[in-house]
Structure formats: structure tokens, C-alpha cells
Structure 1
Amino acid sequence: MAKNDDLSGFTTAQSKPETAMDKTARAVKEIKEAETKERQDKMARLRRARHESEAEATTKPVS
């Protein structure tokens, strides 16, 4: 008689293959996240430059 080593009674779920729509959605999400990060980095850099420029303008006497 064969011994049953699997005592849990549960089977492992088989993952579904990724469809073309899933691949496209994943690619779009990755692109959008990358663009959002680039935009936020650019805004932070410009904001920092503006604050530095305004700080210099307030400390320099106007001739």
C-alpha cells in the first residue's frame, strides 16, 4: 500500500498564465509609476531652486 505523505488535505492552487491584457496593464502601471516619480522629483528640484532664489533675493539689497 502506498503511503500518503500529504496530510494537509489541501491542494496547491495553480496560477493562471498571464494574459496579454495582464501584461499590458502591468506595463502601463510601471510606466505611469515611473513618470509620476520623475514628475515629483522634477517638481521638488524646481521648488528647491525657487526657494533658494527667493532667499537670495530677500538677502541682497536692491541697488
Structure 2
Amino acid sequence: MSTETNSGKLSQTRRETAESKAETTKRISQEMLRTESELRDAKTMRLRAARLASQADLPDPKPAKGRKAKKPAAAAARASSAARS
């Protein structure tokens, strides 16, 4: 009895072709990429919301003062004095 059951199972199994294996691999990899992308987007949205909430609590920063431009005469005088030494 058991030999008949085993032989029936063996005849029913189907070997996958290389093409169907490739399709399976492609489908699984696309699912993994889609899942990773969805998780990344959700994390980005969560972090953006947290950043905006923390920035709303802070006062507006004062504009930074710009550096004054060096006078060209002073730079030329230093260069000529360095060349003399």
C-alpha cells in the first residue's frame, strides 16, 4: 500500500523549468524591494513629522552676520612684506 502512495506522489511532482525559477526569483525580489521601499517611506514620513514638530517649538534663528571682505591693500601689503623677509 505504501509503495503505491509513494509512486503516485512521485509521478505528480513537477520539476520547475529554469524560466519558472527565474520568474519566482524575480517576483520574490520585487516583493522584497516593494516592502523595503514602503518601510523606508513610512520612516521618512515619521522622521519628517518629528522634525517639523521640533522645529515649530524653536524660535526663529537670527540671520548670521556676514564676514567683512578683506581690504585688497592690506593683503597686498602683507604679501610684499613677506617677500622682503
**TM-score, normalised to structure 1's length?**
0.71
Q: Which residue of 2 aligns with 1:25?
A: 23
Matches within 5 A, 1:1-63: 14-63=12-61
Shift of 1:24: 0.3
- Residue ranges of structure 2 left out of the alignment (5+ in a row): 2-7, 62-85
**TM-score, normalised to structure 2's length?**
0.55
| Bigger helix share | 2
Letter in 2 for 1:38: E
- Residue ranges of structure 1 left out of the alignment (5+ in a row): 5-10
Aligned with 2:12: secondary structure?
A: coil
Letter in 2 for 1:17: R
Which protein is bigger by CA-based radius of gyration? 2
Return the alpha-carbon distance in structure 2 between the equivalents of residues 32 and 39 of structure 1. Answer: 10
Letter in 1 for 2:32: A
